[in-house]
Amino acid sequence: MATPKIWDKCLSHLEDELPPQQFNTWIRPLQAVEESSQLRLLAPNRFVMDWVKQKFLKRVDELVANLSSQNVNVLLEVGSDERWRTTVSQNDKATGKPSRNTWPGTLNPSFTFDNHVEGKSNQLARAAAYQVGENPGGAYNPLFIYGGVGLGKTHLMQAAGNLIMDRNLHATVAYIHSERFVAGMVKALQHNTINEFKRYYRSLDALLIDDIQFFGGKSHSQEEFFHTFNTLLDGKRQVVITSDRFHKEITGVQERLISRFGSGLTVPIDAPELETRVAILSMKAQAKGIELSDEVAFFVARQVRSNVRELEGALHRILASARFTGKPIDIHLAREALKDLMVFQERQITIQNIQKTVAEYFKIRVSDLHSKRRIRQITRPRQMAMCLAKELTNLSLPDIGDTFGGRDHTTVLHACRKIDELLKLDAKTKEDYENLQKLLIG
Amino acid sequence: MTRQIPLSVSLPDSAGFENFYPARNEQLLAALRECIGIHVMQPTSIYLYGEAGCGKTHLLYASVRLTRDLEGAASYIPLHHWPAEALNQLDGKGLVCVDGLDAAAGGAAVERALFRLYERCQAGAGVLLIAARAPPGQVGLGLDDLISRLHGGAVYHVASLNDLEKREALRMRAANRGLQLTDEVARYVLRRYPRDTHALFGLLDRIDVASLSEQRRITIPFLQKLGETPQR
């Protein structure tokens, strides 16, 4: 259905007149139905209707009166125009495969490569996922993506799935969290539909299974997954798996399954570096119709370092604050909106706190970190503490060196390089570093 | 004098947004009403934290009420009273309020159940509204996947009322019931009785019943006669 012309013009005026948040929140959800001398605006619920009536209806009336050659009455009510509803894909009928509506496993179309931000931390995983999307069932099968929480594993996995479907309209791709896979299987056993369950998963062109570590200790589900996995791989169909840890470190999962996880391509995702965090924030803001200045984006990205979800949480706070106060999003508003978070971080992240936390973690004394002792049990924690101080505080390198027994800034630089190198090569160092970050950041 | 017997069903404090004294929580209230009332750009989870008595449960009730007023589906699960299995029964559609996360934090089964519920809410376009005493990273949760998801939603601190605000809140609640509580009486209550909001609003309930029953205005002598035990 074509958008009504008068409403179209109104929208364009209102978009110019209102702040983007207000326009996107209150005006965009309205559906318009034009009937002879009447424009019916349908709000999704009474709350929106009341708000629009109170704040914007007068202006809409004026615009309609100005933009229309005849007398048009504007009517605002709660409702939904059936013609706006999208039709359900007929792919399943066309392929004759079991319906995807029977079992959970719907891809989220909003996860694409276009809205994924590439950085050093996810470059490899992104390239691999893209290849899988372009060429499913090819060389990277299974694709195993691992990394900490909130770093974008699910986004990449689903972007690969969406690309597969873009390239082949008839492809059947299912995304499922491993917990839902287990729950679905239990339900199928209870309802005596386990054969349909098996047939569905084994008939897919691509299976994307998220957070596989949740399979730990669930031997029956692992058994079923093992057979599904083999069937798909034997049929040159794609499997993508994510986990919060390297496949060999998953506990409570059968050895044969773990070894198969590693039989394709295994790629890590690390925490995003500052520039990537800035880019992610800007893109997420843009998706909500907001332009974020570099100053604000850098400010937020410096406050929130651990993962992408927390960046999103911070953005929610800032947007809510801007909506409430009606003020533009600048550094003052962002600082005020994130006050609670900053108080918490400032309390936690001092160089003394870093040294104390590292010393406690490695069971050494804080004075050891300040000392000149050069045995491995002391130097490694010291280097790690220096590296954390560089990452988590705004202190200069000479200042950091000073707090470690009057060391030179080149010592700090060397320590950071050493730890960076070890993070790539040594799983234990990586684990220690991540644990310390968690202890300090929360 | 004939005593009037009050009806047992009378005077429930309806926990709606209109009956919540906003104090320093105005922005939170606006954001919450907007998240509940509209269905665009809302996060999967809204997490409220603050110390006991700051009004978290009231806000959860109010959200349930608003959702139902808008003919939406809403459920309320107090984790300190209900077992974790209750979470497994919810389909993740509409508004799901989970109160007292503190009581459940650290329990592997309940955290997994909550995580699954979050996933269902995300898939079903539902909203998970959670209340706890501390922010997600400090409430004692062990499941990192759950913590990060909760951090990714909207996280709001509910500021507790100071004495001046408690006085105003007490007077507002009294006025909403048609009672007149003078500033002098409110000050007296704050000076002499336990000052946590549960105790204060509980006291107001009793004063209300007694004043109706005895057909008396609320004065300091009336409070003294009530026999409530003030703090010395």
CA distance B73 to B230: 43
Q: Given the cut 0.85, state whether the ipTM is greater than it.
A: no
Q: List chain A residues with pLDDT less than 50.
A: 1-3, 83-102, 344
**Does residue B81 come out as left (phi exceeding 0), alpha (psi in the -120 to 50 range) or beta?**
alpha
CA distance A98 to A92: 7
pLDDT value of position B12: 42
Q: Looking at this protein, which amino acid is placed at residue A78?
A: V
What tokens were used for B178?
């048609």
Distances (CA, A) of B134 to A107, A170, A287, A313: 34, 48, 30, 16
pLDDT value of position A173: 93
Residues 6+ apart with CB under 8 A from B224: none
B219: closest CA of chain A, how far (Å): 40
Residues 6+ apart with CB under 8 A from A169: A91
Beta-ladder partners of B95:
B74, B127
In chain B, which residue ranges form alpha helices assigned H by DSSP? 26-37, 56-69, 85-88, 101-104, 108-124, 144-152, 163-176, 183-192, 197-214, 220-226
The string of pLDDT tens digits covering residues A229-253 is 999 999 999 999 999 889 888 888 8
- Band (B11; pLDDT cuts 50, 70, 90): very low
Portion 265-304 of A in contact with B at CB < 8 A:
288
Report the sign of the C-alpha dihedral through residues B74, B80, B81, B83, in that order: positive
pLDDT value of position A70: 81
Distances (CA, A) of A319 to A21, A244, A284, A410, B44: 8, 30, 11, 42, 16
Taking CB atoms and an 8 Å cutoff, what residues of chain B touch A180? 116, 119
Site of tokens 């066309």: A94
Cβ distance B37 to A45 less than 8 Å, yes or no, reads yes
Burial category of A326 from C-beta neighbours within 10 Å (exposed 0-12, middle 13-18, buried 19 and up): exposed
**3 state SS of A37:** coil
Q: Is A26 on the interface with B (CB under 8 A)?
A: yes
Can you spell out the DSSP letters for A64-77?
A: HHHH-SS--EEEEE
What tokens were used for A309?
């979800």
For chain A, the distance separating the N- and C-terminal CA atoms, rounded to the nearest angstrom, is 50
Cβ distance B148 to A317 less than 8 Å, yes or no, reads no
pLDDT value of position A329: 92
A105 membership: H or E segment, kind and range: none
Residue B13 has pLDDT above 80, yes or no: no
Q: Is B115 on the interface with A (CB under 8 A)?
A: yes
pLDDT value of position A334: 92
The string of pLDDT tens digits covering residues B91-131 is 888 899 999 999 888 888 899 999 989 988 988 888 999 99
CA nearest to A311, candidates A122, A149, A113: A149
Taking CB atoms and an 8 Å cutoff, what residues of chain A touch B66? 47
pLDDT value of position B124: 81
pLDDT value of position A99: 45
The string of pLDDT tens digits covering residues B192-215 is 887 788 888 888 988 888 888 888
CA distance B56 to B59: 5
pLDDT value of position A342: 63
B37: closest CA of chain A, how far (Å): 5
Taking CB atoms and an 8 Å cutoff, what residues of chain A touch B157? 340
CA distance B202 to B192: 15
Q: Which long-range contacts (CB under 8 A, 24 or more apart) does A282-287 make?
A: A283/A115, A283/A117, A284/A311, A284/A312, A284/A315, A285/A315, A285/A319, A287/A115
Portion 70-109 of A in contact with B at CB < 8 A:
104, 106
Asked if B187 and B203 count as a contact pair (C-beta separation under 8 A), the reply is no
Residue B4 has pLDDT above 50, yes or no: no
Using CB atoms, which residue from A24, A44, A313 is nearest to B155? A313
Cβ distance A310 to B148 less than 8 Å, yes or no, reads yes
Q: What length is written for chain A?
A: 442
Asked if A232 and A204 count as a contact pair (C-beta separation under 8 A), the reply is yes
The string of pLDDT tens digits covering residues B39-62 is 555 789 999 999 888 999 999 999
Number of helices (H), then strands (E), belonging to chain A: the values are 22, 8
Q: What phi, psi does B177 have (nearest 5°)? A: -95, 0
CA B106 from chain centre, in angstroms, equals 23
Taking CB atoms and an 8 Å cutoff, what residues of chain A touch B37? 45, 47-48, 51
Q: Is A66 on the interface with B (CB under 8 A)?
A: no
Using CB atoms, which residue from A106, A310, A320 is nearest to B31? A320
Site of tokens 């008396």: B216
Beta-ladder partners of A35:
A38
Taking CB atoms and an 8 Å cutoff, what residues of chain A touch B16? none
What residue of A is the nearest CA neighbor of B137? A442
What tokens were used for A284?
């997420």
A200 membership: H or E segment, kind and range: helix A194-202
Q: Is A310 on the interface with B (CB under 8 A)?
A: yes
Q: Is B33 on the interface with A (CB under 8 A)?
A: yes
CA distance A24 to A9: 16
CA distance A23 to A16: 9
Q: Is B31 on the interface with A (CB under 8 A)?
A: yes
Asked if B158 and B25 count as a contact pair (C-beta separation under 8 A), the reply is yes
Mean pLDDT, rounded, for B170-195: 87
Q: Is A149 on the interface with B (CB under 8 A)?
A: yes
**Does residue A140 come out as left (phi exceeding 0), alpha (psi in the -120 to 50 range) or beta?**
beta
| Largest interatomic CA distance in chain B | 65
pLDDT value of position B7: 31
CA distance A259 to A280: 34
Cβ distance B38 to A325 less than 8 Å, yes or no, reads no
CA distance B193 to A128: 66
**3 state SS of B96:** strand
Cβ distance B37 to A211 less than 8 Å, yes or no, reads no
pTM over 0.90: no
Can you spell out the DSSP letters for A306-324?
A: S-HHHHHHHHHHHHHHHHH
Cβ distance A24 to B152 less than 8 Å, yes or no, reads no
**3 state SS of A42:** strand
B229 membership: H or E segment, kind and range: none
Cβ distance A309 to B151 less than 8 Å, yes or no, reads yes
* Pairing mode of beta strands A238-243, A143-147: parallel
CA distance B43 to A416: 37
Q: Is A61 on the interface with B (CB under 8 A)?
A: no
Asked if A369 and A401 count as a contact pair (C-beta separation under 8 A), the reply is no
* Full set of structural domains in chain B with CATH: 17-157 (3.40.50.300), 163-226 (1.10.8.60)
Count of C-beta atoms within a 10 Å radius of residue A416: 20
Cβ distance A47 to B41 less than 8 Å, yes or no, reads no
Q: How many CA atoms lie within 13 A of A87 on its CB side?
A: 5
Mean pLDDT, rounded, for B28-38: 83
Cβ distance A47 to B157 less than 8 Å, yes or no, reads no
Beta-ladder partners of A266:
A144
Q: Is A245 on the interface with B (CB under 8 A)?
A: no
Exposure letters A381-393 (e unless 16+ CB within 10 A, then b): bbbbbbbbbbbbb
Burial category of B119 from C-beta neighbours within 10 Å (exposed 0-12, middle 13-18, buried 19 and up): buried
B155 membership: H or E segment, kind and range: strand B154-157
CA distance A254 to A173: 26
Portion 201-230 of B in contact with A at CB < 8 A:
none
**Angle at alpha carbon of residue A316, lines to A310 and A322, rounded to 5°:** 140
